[in-house]
Structure 1
């Protein structure tokens, strides 16, 4: 059986060589995010969850690798897809995850005033700006990596 990872439509290296400015611009956003003071584990949780929703194997694996490198709790990674039922995520994490899902699925889960108010109970305006930017950034990456079928970066793999 052939897998999507074996059938990349365009590989990462070709993409990067074709439009290096995009990778540079995205790296600048990532740098700003890291300098923002936002909790890196929270940002990684959001990136993984959004990538799960969008079915982007490359981004799910990429951000799982990053999350593991800096010690994000394995239980949170294992239960992220069922975060509402897991009972191990803080109120702040739950608010951010709910926001991430709504921002990702705008067409089916509109971002109403109640959703913003729920988020604002746990984050200030500056933090909301950074959270929303991180969510937008990973949604963009998902919309590039999934259709082109970038091979997931499996640790220890030659793929």
Structure 2
């Protein structure tokens, strides 16, 4: 396999803008493990192998269990995730697959049990961010170990 191009080198200003958004998300107070679970689940859906590898390793380095990583795609079928995590994972799936059903009112309501309006927007920004990275990763042909 070969990478199509190095997006960071091809357009440093675009990359700089993406990093600026990452810095904003880091400043929101969204818990790092939660953000990495958002990143991992969206990356699984989008088939971004580079991001799946990166965020799995980050979660392991944070002390996350192998079981929770391996079973993330089946989170509905296991008691390993809290109600708050389930709400965020469900929102991540609906926002990532937006054209399929939008974000249903009941999903919004489940998230709002755990997060206020500002935090809800923060979650949407985090989900948008990883979806953007996934599109760059897949679009440029990135894979684990390529850079």
Query: Is the TM-score greater than 0.5?
Result: yes
Deviation at 1:109, TM superposition (A): 2.6
Q: Deviations over 1:76-109 (max 9, x none)?
A: 1121111110211000000000000000001113
Runs of 4 or more, structure 1, over 6 Å off, are: none
| Structure 2: 5+ residue stretches without partners | none
Alignment-derived partner of residue 50 in structure 2: 58
Whole-angstrom CA distance in 1 between matches of 2:128 and 2:54: 17
Matched, 1:113 2:105: yes
Deviation at 1:61, TM superposition (A): 0.8
Deviation at 1:141, TM superposition (A): 1.0
Equivalent pairs, count? 147
Worse-superposed segment, 78-87 or 104-113:
104-113
Matched, 1:150 2:142: yes
| Structure 1: 5+ residue stretches without partners | 1-5
Aligned Cα root-mean-square deviation (Å):
1.5
Larger Rg: 1
Deviation at 1:57, TM superposition (A): 0.3
CA contact (8 A) 2:7 2:136 kept: no
- TM-score normalized with structure 1 length: 0.85
Deviation at 1:21, TM superposition (A): 1.4
